[in-house]
Chains A and B, each alone.
Chain A
Amino acid sequence: MATILGTGISTKLDSFAAGKEAAQIAHYRIGKRNANIVIAFISTIFDQELAIKGIRSVIRDVPLIGCSSAGSIANSGISRGSISVSLIRSEAISFSLGIAKDVSKNSRSAGHEAAKQALSKSNRSKTTKSLMIFSDSLSGNSADILRGAQEMMGTSFPIIGGGAADELCFRKTYQYINNNIYTNSVAGLLFSGDINIGIGRAHGWQPVGKPHRITRSSANILKEIDRRPAIEIYEEYLGKSFEELKELGLGKLGVSYPFGIRLKEKNEYLVRSPLKAEDNGSLVLNAELPEGEDINLMIGDKNMALEATRKACMEAMGNIQNRNIRFIACFSNIGRYQLLRESSVKETEIIKEIFGENIPILGFYSYGEYASDFQNQAISIAVFSE
């Protein structure tokens, strides 16, 4: 029987009830059959534990993976402050899970560990096809997590996923494996078997103003730009004092005005956004910005953001061998929601326009996107076909 995915979304205000409702809808969408995997994205407005209990009241004993989100993305549209539950039933695909803690201590080995675990639990008779990861966006270096996973799976192995989010508070995010809720961790879901995966990603942000040089940085801490404390670039361009920036929330401003590094060989920009500022004026990111690189502040435009959605979809479409598409995974950055706002729904409309009106979609608004590399402010699309 063909692989099916069903997604249910609930915005009920009671955490347990919302989890239950989302699970019930998803279960209904797969014809009330037994699922092989549960993928859940839960907004941080909900009590995470109660929400998972709600999901478990409907779907028991099925492996579960997921993370906290800033909004759900599904075929029915997008919805902030919600719980999204996706159920997959498949005979072709086998699923295996991995979890690694202490991302902040050593992101690379955490990525490596999560992938290793998932790989060790996978069905050896089936070919591994893709790794989906959900990581804490507020600790460690997500680009390193990806490198660690690639060490295990191979650099060309398709890795997709999203950075766990909260509701733009930048305080704490969660990762789930089965009934356990983690933080400062990375959770991985390995797809093995008779499926094809096509990945695409794009961001659509444009540089604004002149380029500046990174004069001092260390891992994911950006210390100096043009020999001045890194925060000054925001003080200057946004016309706000350090105190004002802190009060407005640098994380929240950062998703609207991220940094871009020009990738010389590709004539495009890699986007990174700061999460917070340290008192000495250094900026903390969830991936590194290397010393000596030129960076620009970036600005978004609704049309270009939507154009990026189309571009990511087309790229993913070009990367699959057959057109028997079963479902789409979509991880879109919260910065894109902040930019698109009521037009955000167009993002799912574009996906449906390209892949079909009834194509099942799983996804959430994230703080970082994996699509064979790690980006901020981007949209990652993965197409699963049989």
Chain B
Amino acid sequence: MNIYYSFILTLVGAAAIIICSTERKRRLYSERKNRYLQDVINQLDEQAKMIIKTDMALNRVQEELDKKITGLYTLHELGKKINSTLNIDDLFALIKPALVSKLGYSNALIVLKDKASGKIGVKTAIGYSDNEIKKIETRLNKEGFASPLLRKGKFLLVNSDMKKIEHEDIFSDIFKTELFLTAPIVARDLAVGFILMGNPSSYAKLTEGDVEILSILTSQIGTAIENTNLYTELFDSHQDLESRVKERTQELARLNEELQKLNKVKSDFVSAVSHELRTPLTSIKGYASILMTGKLGEVTPAQKERLQKIDKHSNSLTRLVNNLLDIARIESGRMQMDIRENSVKDMLDSVIDIITPQAKEKNIALKINVKVKPDRIKADPAQMERVFVNLLGNAVKFTPEKGRIIISCHENKGLVEFSVEDTGMGIPREDVEKVFEEFFRSDNALDQKVKGTGLGLSLVKKIIEAHKGRIWVESELGKGTKFTFTIPK
């Protein structure tokens, strides 16, 4: 029995041992498995940390890029406005709080140094009270701290994690900003001021990217200051020039008035003298003709010849006086042109009648070349006759024997253009411009020989001008002269 029991006990014991050991093994296995799973989880968790870190780094890059793009875009928008600003105060007014915020700051200052006094002045301030602005101005001026901020090409970047720079605490105190950035404004190669952008305390640290953006802004502002200065200078000099031109114009007007007065005095004088001359001339002429009739006694041939000369010379003197009077009358506006429609043909015919005898005398051919379609013009017929008689008379006078005179007429751009062309001696180049002047006589021998008053062409010009026309002359010495004039249709 005992053996039997012992056997059973042994068996149970063995079974228990086996079970225990299996159970232990199972537990060990499970523990190992748990540990393994825990390891896997921890490994995965480590990987998760890596993923987050990578993701964060990527986000930072992306953010920096976005910030730059926003900054550049904002500056681009601002630049367009700056470029169209020509007044320095308008320029600073463009720096608004929203712009500063878009660039990522809450505080901004634009500080300029006055050229004359050397005083530092705040032109724009964002995020500061009036009191604070005054304090900043006083401190910058008094303590002379502005000089490091006004160095050309020098940027100041104050970040919480950066090495301490000289005066940093003082600057932070002056500007009430923990993080800030300054950049000098350079105009015409000189630092004229500086810009500060900053935050009292910020999550976003300032980076090199911020320096770049601010330096673009300062160069924009620097250029704009340069431009506004140039514009102001230009504007001032323009104003100066304008006032000088005005002065000169007034002076000229005054001189012109004086000249006109003088001219009137002259005309009046000529007119008066001519009138005074006419009366005695008429008497001279009258008495000469009475003498010639022989009613007052026998006239010898020699006396008759002298009397004829008196008559001839007093005639030419009368003509001269009449011409002078007419010129004076036209000039003073006292002579009214009797403008009406005339037949060109009739007008020229009557002129030809007058001039033909003189031309025949010198065997000069007269040719008329008329192409006016409506063949009528609006003019004062008597004055026109004077014009032609004068021009043709001159042509005959200065054209040698067997020469030729051509009278032409045609329409040109709403004007009727007449010309008298001869094959005469011509006018020296230096005299061409002077032929219409009163009492002008050319210095050449023939002109001296040929008689004339020097008033004919002057009168012609006055008459043409009174018809709102224009007259000019083309001439070649030894070949001929061509007078052309126009009158409106």
The answer to the question of A128 belonging to the interface, with a C-beta cut-off of 8 Å to chain B, is no
Residue of B nearest to A338 (CB): B59
27 pairs from A and B in contact (CB 8 Å cutoff) = A13-B96, A13-B98, A13-B99, A13-B102, A44-B101, A45-B97, A45-B102, A81-B98, A81-B102, A167-B101, A168-B203, A208-B51, A209-B45, A209-B48, A209-B49, A210-B44, A210-B45, A237-B48, A237-B49, A248-B203, A252-B203, A297-B48, A297-B52, A299-B55, A338-B63, A341-B62, A341-B66
How many angstroms between the C-alpha atoms of A93 and B474 in the bound complex?
94
Q: Are B56 and A256 in contact (CB under 8 A)?
A: yes
Complex CA distance for A147 and B45, rounded to whole angstroms? 36
Q: Does B371 contact A (CB under 8 A)?
A: no
The interface residues of chain B lying within 8 Å CB-to-CB of A356 are none
Which 7 pairs from chain A and chain B are nearest by CB?
Answer: A249-B203, A209-B48, A45-B101, A13-B98, A208-B48, A209-B45, A210-B45
Taking CB atoms, residues of chain A closer than 8 Å to B101 are 44-45, 81, 167
- B306 interface contact, C-beta 8 A: no
Q: Give the distance in Å from the alpha carbon of A15 to the alpha carbon of B98 in the complex.
A: 7
Q: Is the CB of A238 within 8 A of B52?
A: yes
Given contacts A13-B96, A209-B52, A210-B42, list 17 more A-B pairs with CB under 8 A: A13-B102, A44-B101, A45-B101, A46-B97, A81-B101, A169-B203, A209-B44, A238-B52, A238-B56, A247-B203, A248-B203, A249-B204, A252-B203, A299-B51, A299-B52, A338-B63, A341-B62
Q: Let me know if A259 is at the binding interface, CB within 8 A.
A: no
Kindly list chain A residues whose C-beta atoms are within 8 Å of the C-beta of B97: 15, 45-47
Compute how far the CA of A210 lies from the CA of B45 in the bound complex, rounded to whole angstroms: 6
Say yes or no: is A279 at the interface (Cβ < 8 Å to chain B): no
Q: How long is the Cα–Cα vector from A15 to B102 in the complex, in angstroms?
A: 13
Most buried by B among A12, A209, A251: A209
- Point out the residues of chain B lying under 8 angstroms from A341, CB to CB: 62, 66
Q: Quick check: is A236 within 8 A (CB to CB) of the other chain?
A: yes
A239 within 8 A of B: yes
Q: Tell yes or no: B34 within 8 A of A by CB.
A: no
Q: Is A14 close to B, CB under 8 A?
A: yes
Q: Are B96 and A257 in contact (CB under 8 A)?
A: no
Cβ contact within 8 Å between A239 and B98: no
Among A18, A45, A297: residue with most chain B CB under 10 A: A45
The 8 A CB mask of B88-129 against A (1 = contact, 0 = none) is 000000001111011000000000000000000000000000
Q: Given that A45-B97, A45-B98, A167-B101 are known contacts, is A239 also in contact with B53, CB under 8 Å in the complex?
A: yes
Chain A 133-162, CB-CB to B under 8 Å as 1, else 0, gives 000000000000000000000000000000
Report Cα–Cα, A239/B41, bound state, in Å.
19
- Give the nearest-CB partner of B38 in chain A: A210
List A contacts of B160 (CB < 8 A): 247
Contacts of B48 on A, CB cut-off 8 Å?
208-210, 237, 297
Instruction: Give Cα A81 to B52, complex, Å.
Output: 28
CB nearest neighbor in A for B93? A14
Q: Are A14 and B96 in contact (CB under 8 A)?
A: yes
Whether B309 sits at the interface, judged by CB under 8 Å, is no
Q: In angstroms, how far is the closest chain B Cβ from the Cβ of A265?
A: 24
Is B205 on the interface with A (CB-CB < 8 A)? yes
Q: Is the interface of A mostly helix, strand, loop or mixed?
A: mixed
What is A's interface to B at a CB cutoff of 8 Å?
12-15, 18, 44-47, 80-81, 167-169, 208-210, 236-239, 247-249, 251-253, 256-257, 297, 299, 338, 341
A338 to B161, CA, bound (A): 25
CB-CB contacts below 8 Å: B46-75 with A: 48-49, 51-53, 55-56, 59, 62-63, 66, 70
- On whether the beta carbons of B59 and A256 are closer than 8 Å, the reply is yes
| B295 CB, min distance to chain A CBs, angstroms | 108
- Report B-chain residues with C-beta under 8 Å of the C-beta of A47: 97
Q: In the bound complex, what is the Cα–Cα distance between A256 and B53 (angstroms)?
A: 12
* CB-defined contacts of A257 to chain B, threshold 8 Å: 52, 56
A253, B96: Cα distance in complex, Å? 29
Contacting residues, chain B, for A18 (C-beta < 8 A): 98
Closest to A209 in B: B48
Chain A's nearest CB lies how many Å from the CB of B276?
Answer: 83
Residue of A nearest to B55 (CB): A299
Closest to A256 in B: B59
Nearest-neighbor residue (CB-CB) of B199 within chain A: A169
Q: Give Cα A73–Cα B334 distance, bound, in whole angstroms.
A: 85
B51: chain A residues at CB < 8 Å are 208, 299
User: What B residues does A209 contact at CB under 8 A?
Assistant: 44-45, 48-49, 52
Nearest chain-B residue to A82 (Cβ)? B98
Measured CA separation A46–B102 after assembly (Å) = 10
Residue of chain A at shortest CB distance from B53: A239
Query: Looking at the complex, which one of A247, A252, A256, A297 makes contact with B205 (CB distance below 8 Å)?
Result: A247
A296's closest neighbor in chain B, by CB?
A: B48
Per-residue 0/1 for B389-433: is the Cβ within 8 Å of any A Cβ (1 yes, 0 no)?
000000000000000000000000000000000000000000000
Task: Give bound CA distance, A14 to B102, whole Å.
Answer: 12
Shortest Cβ distance from residue A364 to the other chain B in the assembled complex, whole angstroms: 17
A299–B52 Cα distance when bound, in Å, is 8
| Of listed B49, B51, B62, residue having the most chain A CB within 10 A | B49
Q: How far is the CA of A14 from the CA of B94 in the complex (A)?
A: 9
The smallest C-beta distance from B171 to any residue of chain A, in angstroms, reads: 20
CA gap between A253 and B42 in the complex, in Å: 23
- Give CA–CA (A335, B155) in the complex, Å: 34
Partner of B41, one of A45, A167, A210: A210
With a cutoff of 8 Å between Cβ atoms, the chain B residues found around residue A251 in the complex are: 203
A237 in contact with B52 given A46-B98, A256-B59, A341-B66 (CB within 8 Å): yes
Q: Which residues of B have CB within 8 Å of A297?
A: 48, 52
Contacts of B70 in A (CB 8 A): 80-81
A residues near B42, Cβ cutoff 8 Å: 210
**Complex contact A239–B49 (CB within 8 A):** yes
Distance in angstroms between the alpha carbons of A169 and B106 in the assembled complex? 11
